């Protein structure tokens, strides 16, 4: 009798919604767990070429922690596309301006840099406060 590995199909994947409270959590440890959930690595039917991950809602992103002197030393870069258009911002200033982007950038860096990874990134919802508009989906709390 032949044994074979089953591959997940896009139409067969059941997605769950999880909500994560990021208050007093270390950014990198939070991002690894969230990226694994978005990718579907915790799913027994994980298939690398299929988006079989779940939706993740991160609340209290403004209360996430960084260790050491990363608030002052960690730098995020972006480029406008024009000559001399390189912009940089420290993690401390980014937390003041857009605290959701700290979590969003950390998770995006842990996902594949392909069209499939961009689809996975769309299932991440990040909010600075403790409120989110996704109550209708019935998200389950996720302990990390």
Mind listing the domains of the chain with CATH numbers? Answer: 15-67+97-141 (3.90.1180.10)
- Note the pLDDT of residue 57: 98
- pTM of the entire structure? 0.92
Nearest to 101 by CA among 112, 90, 113: 90
Which residues does the chain have with pLDDT short of 50? none
Nearest to 130 by CA among 57, 67, 56: 57
- Note the pLDDT of residue 4: 78
Cβ atoms of 6 and 45 closer than 8 Å: yes
Cβ atoms of 46 and 9 closer than 8 Å: no
- Note the pLDDT of residue 1: 63
Both tokens of 108, joined, read: 């995006």
């Amino acid at each position: 009798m032949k044994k074979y590995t089953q591959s997940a199909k896009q139409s067969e994947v059941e997605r769950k919604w999880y909500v994560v409270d990021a208050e007093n959590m270390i950014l990198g440890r939070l991002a690894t767990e969230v990226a694994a959930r978005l990718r579907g690595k915790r799913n027994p039917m994980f298939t690398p070429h299929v988006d079989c991950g779940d939706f993740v809602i991160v609340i209290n992103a403004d209360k996430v922690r960084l260790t050491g002197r990363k608030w002052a030393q960690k730098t995020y870069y972006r480029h406008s596309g024009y000559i001399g258009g390189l912009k940089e911002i420290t993690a401390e200033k980014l937390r003041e301006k857009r605290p959701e982007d700290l979590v969003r950038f950390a998770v995006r860096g842990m996902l594949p840099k392909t069209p499939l990874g961009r689809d996975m990134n769309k299932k991440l919802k990040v909010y600075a406060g403790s409120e989110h508009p996704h109550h209708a989906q019935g998200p389950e709390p996720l302990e990390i």
